[in-house]
Amino acid sequence: MQQSEQKPGAGSQSQPESPIGAQQRAAQQRVESGERRTLAQAFGRLVPYLQGLKLRWLLGVFAAIGAGVIALSIPVVLGRLVDDIEAIDAVGAVVWTAFAVVLCLGVLEAVFVFLRRFFVIPPASDAEMNMRVSLFDRLVHQTASFHGAWEAGQLQSRAIADLNMLRRFFAFGSLMLLTSCITVTVGIAVMFTWSPLLAGLFLCAAVPVIVLGPAFRRKFIHYSRSAQDQAGEVATKVEESVHGIRVLKAFGRGDWARSSFKEEAATLRDLEVSKMRTLAKFQMLMVLLPESVLAACIFTGLYLAAQGDMTAGALAGFFSMAVVLKQPIEGIGMLIGMVFMAKTSIDRHIDVMDIEPEIASPTEPRTTQERGLVELDNVHFRYPDAAEDLIRGATLRIEPGETMALVSATGGGTSTLLNLVPRLYDVTGGSVRIDGVDVREYSLPDLRSRVAVAFEDPTLFSTTVKSNVLLGTGHHRDEDDPAHPYREKSPRPDQLEQVLAEALHTADAEFAANLPEGLDTRIGEEGLSLSGGQRQRLALSRAIAAKPSVLLLDDPLSALDVRTEERVTDRLRRVLQGTTTLIVAHRPSTVAMADRVALLHEGRIADVGTHTELLTRSETYAKIMKPPAPGGQELMDTVAAAGSEPGTEQDAIAAEEPEEVRS
């Protein structure tokens, strides 16, 4: 017992003891790790994504530097021109030379600019795409409890907005920052050759920028990060209001939802404004400092020129250079802002990527002949943020091919127990075994191909009916899909059509054939919306079509009307012969499908037996399963009697009521 609790990969080790919510923890972890990481560390983490980018990025850098240096040569040419043209013996050739040089450089500059984009954009977009796909790959392997704690909206803003930001940074920001720095350095060096004094003055403007930079940096990061997080919050509110629209409408509470949405949106607005204010301050600094220094340069330069220490051409060149350098100097501020925004995005990316899925295949998986024996051995389970165990030592053995109903009072943990079998959650104590092997010792694909589930809340995907039903088969998979190991029982590609037809028939989901495009009709987000009962039946056929050796059904018929339920129950009973089935049941009609019934009470399997046995033996079971004492049965009697004497049925019902209240 103790041993199995220490099994590798078991979630128990990483289960936190503190009762703070998983979400809070996630948020905490996120902030901490992001703040701890240095800029270099953050960017270092991106190296794997940038493999293909390197060479083209370097070429892009060369192109960008080329364009930057060419831009610098114009002031030099101009300075020369002013000096040459003011010489006494100036001839037309001076102008022609200058023209030719400027023309060539001009064309070259345009070519370089074209090349920069040509080199960098495709690989940067590839890197963005790869990061996006890796993020998705990571998330899709995260546990259900992870997804319970992280809202889809938050994750999505990490997948879209953050990665867009990174692409822009790699394709544009990083290059321009580098180029701007080089341009400014070279430009100032050229200025030195004209007048060290003026160049020194000009350099003075850079010092305060360097000093004030870090303060600006911290503030900007803070706002930029909060704004991005807040945008996620707003997205979550939107999502909720859209999914809950029926409730909101039913109670006319649109205004309430709106006002809580407005609150979040206002916070976002304020954060964005604060962010821009910080930026505005920095931008002002980037304009004011160099320009004021230039005013001083005019003063000094004119004096120097008047003294004859400097030519008019050098002075013209200096100011031309100052004008050319203005853009990169101003740009540096913006680009530095971009570096930190990029860091924020990287942090947010890494923070998610760094969370190891708590449930994974063991390093040395075991496997065994498939029979369908399911054993629960003193299973304990507690949700990460719960104070006490929900399952407190459940022990149950389901023989191969047996159909077992699982019954408990509302919230008794039946759905949770089902989730433990395919390891959607991991037990926090004890073990679940299939065919004698602990589920944590199987590789996940192996385990999950033996087991199929029909969830209480049927999630279908935006694709065709066919793809939805064949979700657990080889349909629309790569040949070598590692999540789809070879199994004797899995339907072969040529059997899929037949499996599909059978599954639909069993679940009474043949309505699908009558949809506008038959089984190829798209459903879900971008297609047809189906009723709850229809979705439930498709989810049921999906579980059947996977041909598992262990089938888990979570109250699969709850949304069906009586007649359909009866039909489906009949067919299921036939089809399920030979398949071990654990079925969560909330009423006798469902239990009727089962060979035996297990009663889950107070976190333990309190009793196992046939429906009739349990009815007589277990008071709890009788309470859960037996029709309410007088209830329907007695009413029927009264009604039948009243039917022959029209007019008295009202009294009969009235007489009924007090009794119901009593029970």
Footprint of another protein on 592-631 (CB under 8 A)? 592, 611, 623-628, 631
Specify the DSSP element, H or E, that contains 284: helix 254-307
Minimal distance, residue 430 CB to another protein, in Å = 21
**Residue closer to another protein, measured from CB, 44 or 461:** 461
Long-range contacts of 10-17 (CB under 8 A, 24+ apart): 10/426, 10/427, 10/440, 11/143, 11/358, 11/359, 11/425, 11/426, 11/427, 11/428, 12/426, 12/427, 12/428, 12/429, 14/358, 15/382, 15/384, 15/428, 16/384
| Tokens representing residue 560 in the block | 């069906």
Stretch near another protein under the rule CB under 8 A, chosen from 8-16, 105-113, 181-189, 432-440? 105-113
**Spatial CA neighbour of 600 closest among 416, 454, 387:** 416
210, 289 Cβ separation under 8 angstroms: no
Torsion sign across C-alpha atoms 119, 123, 124, 125: positive
* 263 is a contact residue toward another protein (CB under 8 A): no
**Residue closer to another protein, measured from CB, 37 or 49:** 49
Q: In the 3-class helix/strand/coil scheme, how is 415-454 assigned residue by residue? A: HHHHHHCCCCCCCCEEEEEECCEEHHHCCHHHHHHHEEEE
Specify the DSSP element, H or E, that contains 600: strand 596-601
* 492 is a contact residue toward another protein (CB under 8 A): no
One of 128, 358, 375, 402 touching another protein (CB under 8 A): 128
Stretch near another protein under the rule CB under 8 A, chosen from 9-17, 428-436, 600-608, 646-654? 646-654
Stretch near another protein under the rule CB under 8 A, chosen from 29-37, 44-52, 91-99, 573-581? 91-99
Minimal distance, residue 2 CB to another protein, in Å = 28
* 542 is a contact residue toward another protein (CB under 8 A): yes
How many residues interact with another protein (rule CB under 8 A)? Answer: 213
Minimal distance, residue 50 CB to another protein, in Å = 16
**Spatial CA neighbour of 344 closest among 169, 126, 124:** 169
**Spatial CA neighbour of 322 closest among 217, 212, 150, 188:** 188
* 249 is a contact residue toward another protein (CB under 8 A): yes
* 301 is a contact residue toward another protein (CB under 8 A): yes
* 344 is a contact residue toward another protein (CB under 8 A): no
Burial class (CB in 10 A: 0-12, 13-18, 19+), 73: middle
Tokens 């066919």, residue?
Answer: 466
Minimal distance, residue 38 CB to another protein, in Å = 28
Minimal distance, residue 433 CB to another protein, in Å = 18
Q: What angle do CA 425, 431, 435 make, to 5 degrees?
A: 105
* 309 is a contact residue toward another protein (CB under 8 A): no
One of 196, 476, 510, 517 touching another protein (CB under 8 A): 476
Segment 106 to 125, residues that bind another protein, using CB under 8 A: 106-107, 109-111, 113-114, 117-118, 121-122, 125
* 522 is a contact residue toward another protein (CB under 8 A): no
* 529 is a contact residue toward another protein (CB under 8 A): yes
* 92 is a contact residue toward another protein (CB under 8 A): yes
Burial class (CB in 10 A: 0-12, 13-18, 19+), 183: buried
401, 580 Cβ separation under 8 angstroms: yes
What's the CA dihedral at 260, 265, 268, 270 to 10 degrees? -100
Minimal distance, residue 404 CB to another protein, in Å = 17
* 401 is a contact residue toward another protein (CB under 8 A): no
Minimal distance, residue 448 CB to another protein, in Å = 5
Cβ atoms < 10 Å from Cβ of 586: 20
* 385 is a contact residue toward another protein (CB under 8 A): yes
One of 28, 51, 498, 531 touching another protein (CB under 8 A): 531
* Cβ-count burial 386-424 (b if 16+ within 10 Å, e if not): eeebbbbebebebeebbbbbbbbeeebbbbbbbbbbbbb
One of 194, 319, 340, 442 touching another protein (CB under 8 A): 319
Minimal distance, residue 254 CB to another protein, in Å = 4
CA distance 28 to 18: 14
Minimal distance, residue 445 CB to another protein, in Å = 6
One of 367, 368, 378, 415 touching another protein (CB under 8 A): 415
Minimal distance, residue 218 CB to another protein, in Å = 19
One of 186, 589, 604, 609 touching another protein (CB under 8 A): 589
**Residue closer to another protein, measured from CB, 47 or 242:** 242
One of 46, 61, 74, 177 touching another protein (CB under 8 A): 74
What is each CA distance from 392 to 398, 417, 465, in whole angstroms?
19, 11, 39
**Spatial CA neighbour of 145 closest among 310, 317, 16, 7:** 16
Chain centre to alpha carbon of residue 646: 62
436, 373 Cβ separation under 8 angstroms: yes
* 389 is a contact residue toward another protein (CB under 8 A): no
343, 221 Cβ separation under 8 angstroms: yes
* 365 is a contact residue toward another protein (CB under 8 A): no
Do β-strands 451-454 and 437-438 pair in parallel, antiparallel, or remain unpaired?
unpaired
Torsion sign across C-alpha atoms 65, 67, 70, 74: negative
Segment 137 to 176, residues that bind another protein, using CB under 8 A: 137, 139-142, 144, 147-149, 151-153, 155-157, 159-161
* 302 is a contact residue toward another protein (CB under 8 A): yes
One of 178, 559, 606, 608 touching another protein (CB under 8 A): 559
* 261 is a contact residue toward another protein (CB under 8 A): yes
Stretch near another protein under the rule CB under 8 A, chosen from 39-47, 268-276, 343-351, 493-501? 268-276
* 513 is a contact residue toward another protein (CB under 8 A): no
One of 7, 31, 181, 291 touching another protein (CB under 8 A): 291
CA distance 305 to 307: 5
* 550 is a contact residue toward another protein (CB under 8 A): no
206, 286 Cβ separation under 8 angstroms: no
CA distance 316 to 390: 82
Stretch near another protein under the rule CB under 8 A, chosen from 45-53, 264-272, 433-441, 572-580? 264-272
Stretch near another protein under the rule CB under 8 A, chosen from 132-140, 186-194, 211-219, 513-521? 132-140
* 94 is a contact residue toward another protein (CB under 8 A): yes
Residue 243, CB half-sphere, CA atoms under 13 Å: how many?
9
